[in-house]
Amino acid sequence: MTSAALVSPRLYGVFAASVLALFAASLVVGAGSGTAALLLPSRLPRSLAALLAGAGLAIAGLVMQTIARNRFVEPSTVGATQSAGLGILAAAVFMPEAPIVLKMAAATLTALAGTALFLGLARRLPPTQPLLLPLFGIVYSSVVGAALTFLAWQADLLQFVEIWMNGEFSGVVRGRYELLFAAALMVALAWWAADRLTVAALGPAVATGLGLDLAATRRLGVVIVAVVSALTVVVVGALPFVGLVVPAMVSRLVGDNLRASLPLVALGGAGLVLAADIAGRLVRYPYEIPVGTILGVVGALVFLWLLWRGQHG
């Protein structure tokens, strides 16, 4: 809101250029490289999907951290991802022929409910221990995940759960990934509400004093988180920790004024997922490693680092 001028324009330039370079690399790297026949129907959708999902998830993480006032939460640790899985499972069981948009709607609804339930339960936690919230969130997520596994197993759809819960871009093709452009819409929505979200992060008393409708802002935030989670789970599968890692890094660089940091978070998320996807294609060439697996390792390492830095000093 105030001085985005504090952030040097060069930083935005560096981020944008990196994402562009990664995007270009993503178009040409991998098995059967370089043929034009592969480029349009497969590589372009794949790279766009990684870009959009990464940006969306990083923003969802940022928004979640802002409304929960806690740096250690993100969609996959507040049950949003797993609840979205419940929605698609329900759609797959009760309306298997439904178009993907309807399944997406079902996933969004359950993600909304799951995230709202988490925030409701989280209010019972003592606010003095900030680490209790992510701990609670991770276990809450695994409980929802266990419910998902059990129901899927009853419905004999277990193999789909594995696909939904572990993101992979190799299956991305035209006709399906376009849904992810809605993630860009959510990024725009977050940008539009950036000042309100930052004020919400100042705490209920200050926010109320400044005349913010805190409840409405929280609702908006939950919608952004739920829609992005549902989108990624439906189209590419869960990508853990993107929403945790990227906002944390950007916060260290430029602080928490969303008006200044939000574009960097979106670019950072896009870059991280593109890079992880490229790495997944190269590590065991010509086979592919799912991007969700790589992000799980990288994300958990960064999570540990975030937890322990500053604990000894």
Partner 1 sequence: MIVVSNVSHRIGRAPILTDISLTLEKGGVTALIGPNGAGKSTLLSLIARLTPLQAGTITVDGLAVATTPGRTLARRLAVLPQDSAIDARLTVTELVGFGRFPHGAGRLTDADRAIVAASLQRFDLGDLAGRFIDTLSGGQRQRALVAMAHAQATDYLLLDEPLNNLDMQHARALMRTLRELADTERRTVLVVLHDINHAMAHADRVVALKDGRIAADGPPAAVAVPDVLERIFGYAMRVVDVDGDPVVLHHR
Partner 2 sequence: MADRTTVSGSDAAGTSATRPVEAVFDRRMALLLLVALALSAAYMTVSLRGNIAFALELRAIRLVALWQVAVAVAVSTVLFQTLTQNRILTPAIMGMDALYLLGQTALVFLLGGLGYAGLDPALKFAAESLIMTTMAATLFAPMLKGRTDMTLMLLTGVVLGILFRSLAALLARLIDPNAFAVVQSVSFADFNTLRRDLVWPALAVTALGTAVAWRARHLLDVAALGRARAVGLGLDWTRTVPALLVLVALLVAVSTALVGPVALLGLIVVAGAERLIGSRRHARLLPAACLVGISILVGGQLVLQHGLGGASALGIVVDFAGGLLFLALLAGGRR
Question: 20, 207 in Cβ contact below 8 A?
Answer: no
Positions in 131-150 near partner 1 (CB under 8 A): none
- 285 interacts with partner 2 by CB under 8 A: no
Judged by CB under 8 A, does residue 31 bind partner 2?
A: no
In this structure, are residues 54 and 75 in contact, taking their beta carbons and an 8 Å threshold? no
Rule CB under 8 A: say whether 42 interacts with partner 1. no
Query: Residue 132 CB: number of other CB atoms within 10 A?
Result: 15
Residue 101 binding partner per list partner 1, partner 2, none, with a CB distance cut-off of 5 to 8 Å that depends on partner kind: none
| Number of Cβ atoms within 10 Å of the Cβ of 311 | 6
Closest contact distance (angstroms) between CB of 138 and partner 2 is: 5
Q: Binding-site residue total for partner 2 (CB under 8 A)?
A: 41
Site string (62-101) toward partner 1, x via CB under 8 A: -------x--------------------------------
Written as one string, the DSSP assignment of 202-263 is: T-HHHHHHTT--HHHHHHHHHHHHHHHHHHHHHHT---TTHHHHHHHHHHHHH-S-HHHHHH
- Does 131 interact with partner 2 (rule: CB under 8 A)? yes
User: What CA–CA distance (Å, rounded) separates 268 from 57?
Assistant: 10
Which of the listed partners (partner 2, partner 1, none) does 203 bind, with a CB threshold of 5 to 8 Å by partner kind? partner 1
Structure tokens at 290: 């799912």
Q: Which residue among 136, 164, 169, 177 contacts partner 2 (CB under 8 A)?
A: 136
Among 117, 138, 184, 185, which residue interacts with partner 2 (rule: CB under 8 A)?
Answer: 138
Alpha helix ranges (H) inside 42-131: 44-68, 80-94, 100-122
Q: Out of partner 2, partner 1, none, which partner does residue 206 contact, by CB within 5 to 8 A per kind?
A: partner 1
Query: Using CA atoms, how far apart are residues 47 and 18, in angstroms rounded to an integer?
Result: 14
Q: State the greatest distance between any 2 C-alpha atoms of the chain, in Å, as a whole number.
A: 60
State which of residues 83, 149, 217, 261 lies at the interface with partner 2 (CB under 8 A): 149
257 binds partner 1 (CB under 8 A): yes
1 binds partner 1, rule: CB under 8 A = yes
Interface contacts to partner 1, rule CB under 8 A: 1-3, 6, 69, 195, 198-199, 201-206, 208-213, 251, 255-257
